[in-house]
Amino acid sequence: MTVSSPAAALASGSSRRTRRRRDLGKYLFILPAVLYLLVFTAAPLLQGLWISFTDAKLINPNGGEFIGAENYTYLFGSNAFWDSLTTTVVYTFVTVVFALVLGTAAALALNRAFRGRTVIRALLTFPYAMPTVAAALIFIWIFNPTSGALNKAIGVLGIGQIGWLTDPDYGLTSVLITTVWKVFPFVMLVVLAALQSVPDELYEASRIDGADGLSTFRAVVLPHIMPTLSIVGLLMTIWSIRRFEIIYLLTGGGPSEATNTLVVNVYRRAFSEQDLGTAAAIGILGLVLSLVVTVVFFLADRRQSRREGTA
Amino acid sequence: MKFTTRRVKHGAAVAAVLSLTAGMAACSGSSPAASDGGTLVVANYQFLEPGRGDQLWNGLLGYEEFNDKATLEQTASPYLQYVDKLNTELGAGGGPDVFVVQEAQFATLAEAGLLEPLNDVLADSDLNSLNEGLKVDGDQVGVIWEQVTYALIGNKNLMEQAGIDALPTDVDELIAAGQQIQEATNADGFAVRHLMSEFDSWWMDYNVFPYGFGGSWSDGSELTIDSPENIAGLEAYKKIYDAGIMPIGDDASTFRTKFKENQLAFMIENNGATLSFTEGGQISGTDIVSGPLPFTDPGQHQRIVFAVNKNSDNVELAKDFIRWFVSEEGQTAIRPGLGASTLATDVPLSDEFQSAHPWAPTFLDQAATSRSNLVEGFETDTKAIMQIVMRAVERVITKGDDPAQALAEAQSEAQTSLR
């Protein structure tokens, strides 16, 4: 049995009080951030989760009655929901792949000095800087079947008029063109920054060894920028799952549901059909999709790190 | 100052007491009397319409002279956002003091108990019979802002260029006239809404077609989406869509501008929009001709309601404003901006207006037989039902689905979703 002296007990007590006082200060400093997250993220999320188990209507959002998993059962049995999930996956996949490829290619091209590089870099950044609503309006005009620039151009080549935003076979393609145009500059800028971290000596060594451009890219550049590409790919994936304004402004989810992604579906259910319960359920399922993607990414990243012995 | 546990707890307690006190102060007290005056926020998407919007607002400002302690403020957003914004605000307990709503939205708001009864301020008014439909359990919870009807309108300039001296009277004549216009003038022949991105307006305009063939979406108790008459209406709509006379892909804002700029010959339109074509374009009221819809049966009307927000901080002032609005003074003030619409009272069109707008009487004639856009027996589910119907219509015109099958699927889906 350990017997501590009164002096030691007194000293340890005041040390605990000092530690508690110091900890209280730290908690107070992070309190505003925690409150912000609780109020603007956690609370609405929990409320949305609750609403997804009710029959709440837009005009009386707090008046819904608990109906269990009925909304989820309805969605899982609805072809329209699975179609919107498929559209979301296709839209996300194509956007991410093309944005990564185009953005990386543009970054590689801008990574070497040439006359006019600054101007071209500014022009390539322009789509990302343009307000999304303005971009959507411009593309609506470009895609107009009768008076749009695109049909005028392909008309010169002898191709007939295409309903870019009115033909279900082309609706998603048109939305993807607009989206990739809008977002690839972000990838370009991030990858361009990552390329600055590739040591010049490696390029030199590669040149001495007689490697061509493609081999240099595969063996020297790509391993260096791969972590950046992974993070950018993850962000692009999450943003694409959540993207609403471009799709809704261009097509409203049409033609014939061709561009009806999960997020557009949420909006239509909530505001056109005023069915908040089902809309919230779709939103929760969309969140689950984002979380799955994020978890898969981090698991893959951890496995890769372990393999490289850097965990 | 050192943060100690005791000081933090004390501060939190003081903050809680202050918050509670402030909250109680905010909640206390009833709405001020109308004679006390105040500020009223009036919402209407029409305030944004070129020329007409200012005319409507200036008409309403007459209330400030009637009650010199009152101040009116307007709030407006484009129609496509107006409905969603208003529903969200009212559902959250906020929103403007007085607002216009379409009939479908009115039904939903009335059922939710968000509209203030107006019986006490309307006792001495001269409301017409159209207002009867705006009662809930005996309470008058709205008055007619305007009831607009639909007709076929033509651009006289283009018709003369193409040698067309009368408006078409059926679908085949419409298609032939549209083609004649295109060949003679290079302008588009005919336009009507056809895009899902304009759903909130598209479904109301589309009803011209099924109604024009004697169709309806219900018999009062059961949905009748796939009735033969509705199928005939959809087939007519598709026939016109495929005829090559429409500017496919143009939204209403674009093709209405084309009409004003002598680039489009025929439209099926409502009288409110038609009035707006006489401002800010190349045509005047005498350049527009109008006639009955090219179908066998009457079309629909849009009934736009003026209502008071039950959660307004100035309910009494808002009700007094409505009292003025339905008086002879208020109705006369608003008449020029509402053109050939039917109003809350039977104030007539002025001779001056009729001579400047010879197209107007046709729309007034349609009012006697026009039908509501609401699905009878399913009023509060109208928008949800029409979402399903319009998706079927979209599949027919864009993918070539069979109209009968598309509407049969819509019937089935609507019956399942109304759970």
**What is the share, in percent, of chain B residues with pLDDT greater than 70?**
93
Q: Which two structure tokens, joined as six digits, stand for B375? A: 């699905």
| Per-residue pLDDT at B322 | 97
Whether residue A25 is contained in a domain is answered as: no
Beta bridge partners of B190: B266
Cβ proximity of A272 and B198 under 8 Å: no
Q: How far apart are CA B187 and CA B283, in angstroms?
A: 15
Give the dihedral sign, CA A278/A279/A281/A286. positive
B395: nearest CB among A146, A164, A256: A256
Check which CATH number belongs to the domain holding A273 and give it.
1.10.3720.10
Show residues of chain B in contact with A72, CB under 8 Å: none
Residue with tokens 């680039």, as numbered in its chain: B263
CB contact (8 A) between residue B4 and residue A148: no
- What total of structural domains would you count in chain A? 1
**Best A59, A137, A169 residue to mutate vs chain B (most B CBs within 10 Å):** A59
Whether residue A28 is contained in a domain is answered as: no
Q: Which two structure tokens, joined as six digits, stand for B267? A: 């439209």
Give the dihedral sign, CA B151/B156/B161/B163. positive
- In chain A, the residue whose alpha carbon lies closest to the alpha carbon of B392 is A256
Interchain contact A78–B (C-beta under 8 A) = no
pLDDT value at B261 more than 80: yes
Task: State the smallest CA–CA distance between residue A272 and chain B in angstroms.
Answer: 7
- Degrees (nearest 5) of the Cα angle B306, B214, B419? 65
Q: Which two structure tokens, joined as six digits, stand for B202? A: 């598209």
| Per-residue pLDDT at A115 | 92
Show residues of chain A in contact with B399, CB under 8 Å: 168, 256
| Per-residue pLDDT at B419 | 59
**Best A271, A275, A276, A278 residue to mutate vs chain B (most B CBs within 10 Å):** A271
Show residues of chain B in contact with A275, CB under 8 Å: 384
Residue A212: count other Cβ atoms within 10 Å of its Cβ: 9
| Per-residue pLDDT at B2 | 41
pLDDT value at B29 more than 80: no
pTM, 2 dp? 0.80
CB contact (8 A) between residue B249 and residue A57: no
Q: How far apart are CA B398 and CA B401, in angstroms?
A: 8
Query: Of B6 and A132, which is predicted with more confidence?
Result: A132
pLDDT band at B15 (very low <50, low <70, confident <90, very high): very low
β-pair type (B98-102, B38-43): parallel
| Per-residue pLDDT at B58 | 95
- Per-residue pLDDT, averaged over B259-285, amounts to 93
Q: Which helix or strand (DSSP H or E) is residue B42 part of?
A: strand B38-43
Task: State the smallest CA–CA distance between residue A45 and chain B in angstroms.
Answer: 17
Per DSSP, the three-state class of B67 is coil
Cβ proximity of A91 and A240 under 8 Å: yes
| Per-residue pLDDT at A286 | 94
Residue with tokens 């093709």, as numbered in its chain: B255
Q: How far apart are CA A12 and CA A9, in angstroms?
A: 5
pLDDT value at B385 more than 70: yes
- Per-residue pLDDT, averaged over B285-293, amounts to 96
Alpha helices in chain A (DSSP H): 6-37, 43-51, 70-76, 79-110, 117-129, 132-142, 149-156, 168-195, 200-208, 213-216, 222-242, 245-251, 262-267, 276-308
Show residues of chain A in contact with B400, CB under 8 Å: none
Whether residue A83 is contained in a domain is answered as: yes
B112: nearest CB among A24, A59, A146: A59
B248: nearest CB among A163, A268, A272: A163
Show residues of chain B in contact with A59, CB under 8 Å: 87, 90-91, 108-109, 112, 114
CB contact (8 A) between residue A252 and residue B197: yes
Interchain contact B307–A (C-beta under 8 A) = no
Q: How many helices (DSSP H) and strands (DSSP E) are in chain B? A: 19, 10
DSSP state, residue A30: H
| Per-residue pLDDT at B219 | 95
| Per-residue pLDDT at B20 | 42
Phi first, then psi: what are they for B301, rounded to 5°? -125, 160
CB contact (8 A) between residue A163 and residue B391: no
Q: How far apart are CA A152 and CA A12, in angstroms?
A: 84
| Per-residue pLDDT at B168 | 97
Interchain contact A286–B (C-beta under 8 A) = no
Closest CA to B226 of B55, B403, B365: B403
Q: How far apart are CA B41 and CA B36, in angstroms?
A: 16
- Per-residue pLDDT, averaged over A177-200, amounts to 93
pLDDT value at B12 more than 70: no
β-pair type (B264-270, B143-155): antiparallel
Max mean pLDDT among A83-97, B273-287, B330-344 falls in A83-97
Beta bridge partners of B99: B43, B307
Q: How far apart are CA A292 and CA A302, in angstroms?
A: 15
Show residues of chain A in contact with B83, CB under 8 Å: 271
Give the dihedral sign, CA B365/B367/B371/B374. positive
Q: Tell me the pLDDT of chain A averaged across its residues.
A: 89
Show residues of chain B in contact with A25, CB under 8 Å: 3
Whether residue A85 is contained in a domain is answered as: yes
| Per-residue pLDDT at A9 | 58
Chain centre distance of CA A225: 19
Closest CA to B205 of B150, B245, B258: B150
- Degrees (nearest 5) of the Cα angle B317, B321, B327? 145
Cβ proximity of A62 and A56 under 8 Å: yes
Q: How far apart are CA B344 and CA B374, in angstroms?
A: 19
| Per-residue pLDDT at B197 | 87
Query: Of A41 and B9, which is predicted with more confidence?
Result: A41
Residues B251, B254, B255, B261, Cα dihedral to 10°: 180
Whether residue A240 is contained in a domain is answered as: yes
Q: What are the residues whose beta carbons fall under 8 Å from the beta carbon of A169, sequence distance 6 or more?
A: A258
| Per-residue pLDDT at B258 | 95
With 0-12 / 13-18 / 19 or more C-beta atoms within 10 angstroms meaning exposed / middle / buried, residue A7 is exposed
pLDDT band at A8 (very low <50, low <70, confident <90, very high): low
Q: How far apart are CA B150 and CA B300, in angstroms?
A: 7
| Per-residue pLDDT at A1 | 47
Alpha helices in B307-402 (DSSP H): 315-325, 328-338, 351-356, 360-366, 382-399
CB contact (8 A) between residue A166 and residue B92: no
Instruction: Please give the domain boundaries of chain B with CATH numbers for all domains.
Output: 34-147+303-356 (3.40.190.10), 150-299+372-417 (3.40.190.10)
Residue A150: count other Cβ atoms within 10 Å of its Cβ: 18
| Per-residue pLDDT at B33 | 82
Q: What is the pLDDT of residues A215-255, one digit of tens each?
A: 888 888 888 899 999 999 999 999 999 999 999 999 989 89
- Per-residue pLDDT, averaged over A118-130, amounts to 94
Interchain contact B84–A (C-beta under 8 A) = yes
Alpha helices in B197-350 (DSSP H): 199-206, 208-212, 228-242, 252-260, 271-276, 315-325, 328-338
Q: What is the pLDDT of residues A254-311, one digit of tens each?
A: 898 999 999 999 999 998 888 999 999 999 999 999 999 999 998 988 888 888 775 4
Cβ proximity of B304 and B147 under 8 Å: yes
Q: Which two structure tokens, joined as six digits, stand for A266? A: 């949420």
Closest CA to B88 of B107, B109, B113: B109
Q: Which helix or strand (DSSP H or E) is residue B268 part of?
A: strand B264-270
Whether residue A167 is contained in a domain is answered as: yes
- Per-residue pLDDT, averaged over A172-181, amounts to 97
Domain that includes residue A93, residue range: 78-308
CB contact (8 A) between residue B91 and residue A60: yes
- Per-residue pLDDT, averaged over B113-138, amounts to 92
Beta bridge partners of B285: none
Show residues of chain A in contact with B87, CB under 8 Å: 58-59, 271, 274
Q: Which helix or strand (DSSP H or E) is residue B124 part of?
A: none
Show residues of chain A in contact with B91, CB under 8 Å: 58-61
CB contact (8 A) between residue B399 and residue A168: yes
- Per-residue pLDDT, averaged over B44-57, amounts to 90
Closest CA to B361 of B151, B125, B199: B151
Per DSSP, the three-state class of B144 is strand
- In chain B, the residue whose alpha carbon lies closest to the alpha carbon of A248 is B197
Per DSSP, the three-state class of A62 is coil
Residue B249: count other Cβ atoms within 10 Å of its Cβ: 25
- In chain A, the residue whose alpha carbon lies closest to the alpha carbon of B109 is A59
Closest CA to A58 of B111, B412, B103: B111
Complex ipTM: 0.74
| Per-residue pLDDT at B262 | 96
A166: nearest CB among B8, B200, B249: B249
Q: How far apart are CA A281 and CA A265, in angstroms?
A: 11
Interchain contact A144–B (C-beta under 8 A) = yes
Q: What is the pLDDT of residues A45-61, one digit of tens each?
A: 999 999 999 999 888 88
Whether residue A6 is contained in a domain is answered as: no
Interchain contact B200–A (C-beta under 8 A) = yes
**Best A28, A273, A275, A278 residue to mutate vs chain B (most B CBs within 10 Å):** A273
- Range with the poorest average pLDDT among A98-107, A116-125, B17-26: B17-26
Q: How far apart are CA A82 and CA B83, in angstroms?
A: 28
pLDDT value at B28 more than 50: no
Interchain contact A30–B (C-beta under 8 A) = no
Show residues of chain B in contact with A164, CB under 8 Å: 249
Q: What is the pLDDT of residues B196-225, one digit of tens each?
A: 889 889 999 999 999 999 999 999 999 999
Interchain contact A248–B (C-beta under 8 A) = yes
**What is the share, in percent, of chain A residues with pLDDT greater than 90?**
63
CB contact (8 A) between residue B3 and residue A28: yes
pLDDT band at B4 (very low <50, low <70, confident <90, very high): very low
Q: Tell me the pLDDT of chain B averaged across its residues.
A: 90
CB contact (8 A) between residue A24 and residue B4: yes
Q: What is the pLDDT of residues B142-187, one digit of tens each?
A: 999 999 999 999 999 999 999 999 999 999 999 999 999 999 999 9
Whether residue A43 is contained in a domain is answered as: no
Interchain contact B129–A (C-beta under 8 A) = no
